[in-house]
């Protein structure tokens, strides 16, 4: 295998594989969170309520 | 009698004679070692690593000391802890025990930023190939972009041990320079409106069970996808599992204190031992430093651009600045994001979100290395 085939293959499979694996982990983590919720309800802070700064 | 005294005295002067006749590279490296010590002590640049590295560099360049020859003390540290990959893996247990994945678990989708922040690894790899490095050398140079010292050492030890000094010094130096490297790129790539986006902070959504099961989940999933990286991911998750289980406080404490401290000392000395003048002072070393810097810049670009994409897809609820924390370099990159966010809105608190992206970057950097190792294995190159 020449070096460019090697480099491009590693880049595509490596970057794609990393992205897909972390996406899968984020999905499984969400499932884990839903399967084992905390005893008390979550609390949001009043200071940063999402959206843009006013 | 007089003659034997002169012979004995000539033995004492052999070191000076060596320096004068063929020791210029050693002198240059002793100055570099001194520079590393200065940066560590006076400028607080990664002192835990740069002090032993700088001193190891000084020791190995003293003529005729033979500290890196068979039987030498630095050689012993190198053979015992670097060649066997023991030291970087033990450091990972400590890092795992020190890491709080809570912010990441609160908002799992920002794990994706930890993947985007590894893009520079692969671009640096392509550039290294273009500059004439071999395939395995290019992989080791690219891994500087993981912004993760133990990962860089682990990979380089296996596939290009002759580059270990340059790669590890570059990795640790650039990690400490993250507060200088990242802000201009972050400012350039984001609009004023994006910089001031405030993110919702939700806390208390994570149960103890989730925290305990997370390291096991990561170990099993990543181990099945990229088995060659299991030692790396397994050790970092072991450290985190010790901490989150709450059942082994003494082991957790030992991992993040005694073991991490002792191993850091020996690891630094062994890396310094690889910086012998005649082997280190090459154009190749400068190229490695340049490519490493480029890799970290490209990581930051990719992280912020991915942050912009997530901002767009979420309807403006994600501040793209946190993408810069996806490069690992924990926790410095997260602090950089917090400081940059507050430059534009003093009441904007991005730290927890940036910590989430930063711990995602830690997993991402190890995962990128693991996948690369498994690809090399699949290609039959290792």
Beta carbons of B372 and B159 less than 8 angstroms apart: no
Please check the confidence at residue B237 and state whether its pLDDT lies above 90. Answer: yes
The Cβ of residue B63 has, within 10 Å, a number of other Cβ atoms equal to 18
Residue B9 within any structural domain of the chain: no
Min Cα–Cα distance to chain A from B119, Å: 7
| DSSP 8-state secondary structure symbol assigned to residue B144 | G
How many distinct structural domains can be found in chain B? 1
Residue B60 within any structural domain of the chain: no
Residue A33 and residue B138: Cβ atoms within 8 Å? no
- pLDDT over 90, % of chain B: 77
A4-49 pLDDT per residue, tens: 899 999 999 999 999 999 999 999 999 999 999 988 655 555 445 4
Min Cα–Cα distance to chain B from A7, Å: 6
The Cβ of residue B287 has, within 10 Å, a number of other Cβ atoms equal to 17
Please check the confidence at residue B304 and state whether its pLDDT lies above 50. Answer: yes
Beta carbons of B21 and B237 less than 8 angstroms apart: no
Domain holding B297, by residue range, is 85-161+174-260+285-379
Residue B244 within any structural domain of the chain: yes
Q: Taking CB atoms and an 8 Å cutoff, what residues of chain B touch A21?
A: 115, 221-222, 225-226, 367, 371
Structure-block tokens of residue B79: 């053979």
Q: Specify the pLDDT at position B172.
A: 84
Residue B78 within any structural domain of the chain: no
CA B168/CA B151 separation, integer angstroms? 9
CA B255/CA A39 separation, integer angstroms? 30
Residue B221 and residue A51: Cβ atoms within 8 Å? no
Residue B252 within any structural domain of the chain: yes
Mean pLDDT of the B325-339 span: 90
Beta carbons of B160 and B137 less than 8 angstroms apart: yes
Residue B17 within any structural domain of the chain: no
CA B150/CA B364 separation, integer angstroms? 14
Q: Specify the pLDDT at position A45.
A: 52
B342-355 pLDDT per residue, tens: 999 998 999 999 99
Which residue is closest to A25 within chain B, CA to CA?
A: B218
Residue A54 banded pLDDT, cuts 50, 70, 90: very low
Map residue B278 onto helix, strand or coil: helix
Mean pLDDT of the B203-224 span: 93
* Unique residue bearing structure tokens 């084992």: A36
DSSP B103-122: HHHHSGGGHHHHHHTTHHHH
CA A23, A24, A28, A31 torsion-angle sign: positive
Q: Taking CB atoms and an 8 Å cutoff, what residues of chain B touch A2?
A: none
Angle between helices B283-313 and B135-142 (to 10 degrees): 60
Residue B360 within any structural domain of the chain: yes
Residue A6 and residue B379: Cβ atoms within 8 Å? yes
Residue B278 within any structural domain of the chain: no
Q: Taking CB atoms and an 8 Å cutoff, what residues of chain A touch B202?
A: 42-44
ipTM over 0.90: no
How many Cα atoms within 13 Å fall on the side-chain side of residue B163? 31
């Amino acid at each position: 295998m020449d070096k460019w085939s090697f480099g491009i293959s590693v880049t595509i499979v490596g970057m794609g594989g990393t992205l897909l694996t972390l996406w899968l982990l984020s999905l499984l983590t969400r499932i884990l969170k839903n399967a084992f919720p905390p005893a008390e309800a979550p609390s949001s802070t009043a200071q940063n309520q999402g959206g843009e700064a006013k | 009698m007089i003659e034997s005294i002169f012979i004995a005295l000539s033995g004492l002067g052999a070191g000076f004679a060596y320096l004068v006749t063929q020791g210029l590279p050693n002198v240059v490296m002793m100055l570099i070692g001194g520079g590393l010590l200065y940066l560590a002590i006076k400028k607080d640049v990664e002192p835990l690593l740069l002090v032993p590295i700088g001193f190891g560099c000084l020791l190995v360049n003293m003529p005729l000391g033979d500290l890196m020859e068979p039987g030498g003390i630095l050689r012993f540290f190198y053979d015992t802890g670097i060649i066997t990959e023991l030291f970087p893996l033990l450091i990972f247990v400590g890092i795992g025990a020190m890491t709080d994945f809570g912010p990441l678990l609160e908002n799992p989708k920002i794990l994706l930023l930890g993947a985007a922040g590894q893009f520079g690894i692969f671009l640096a790899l392509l550039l290294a190939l273009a500059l004439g490095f071999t395939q395995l050398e290019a992989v080791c140079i690219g891994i500087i972009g993981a912004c993760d010292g133990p990962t860089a050492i682990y990979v380089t030890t296996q596939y290009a041990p002759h580059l270990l000094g340059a790669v590890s010094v570059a990795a640790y130096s650039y990690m400490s320079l993250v507060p200088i490297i990242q802000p201009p790129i972050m400012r350039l790539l984001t609009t004023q409106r994006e910089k001031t986006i405030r993110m919702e902070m939700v806390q208390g959504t994570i149960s103890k069970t989730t925290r305990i099961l997370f390291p096991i989940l990561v170990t099993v999933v990543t181990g099945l996808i990229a088995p060659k990286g299991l030692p790396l991911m397994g050790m970092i998750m072991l450290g985190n599992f010790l901490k989150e289980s709450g059942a082994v406080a003494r082991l957790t404490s030992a991992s993040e204190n005694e073991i991490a401290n002792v191993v850091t000392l020996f690891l630094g000395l062994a890396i310094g031992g690889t910086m012998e003048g005649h082997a280190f002072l090459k154009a190749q070393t400068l190229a490695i430093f340049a490519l490493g810097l480029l890799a970290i810049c490209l990581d930051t670009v990719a992280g912020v651009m991915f942050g912009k994409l997530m901002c767009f897809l979420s309807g403006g609820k994600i501040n793209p600045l946190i993408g810069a924390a996806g490069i690992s370099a924990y926790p410095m990159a997260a602090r950089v994001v917090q400081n940059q966010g507050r430059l534009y809105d003093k009441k904007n608190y991005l730290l927890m979100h940036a910590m989430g992206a930063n711990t995602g970057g830690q997993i991402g950097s190890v995962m990128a290395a693991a996948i690369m190792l498994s690809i090399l294995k699949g290609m039959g190159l290792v």
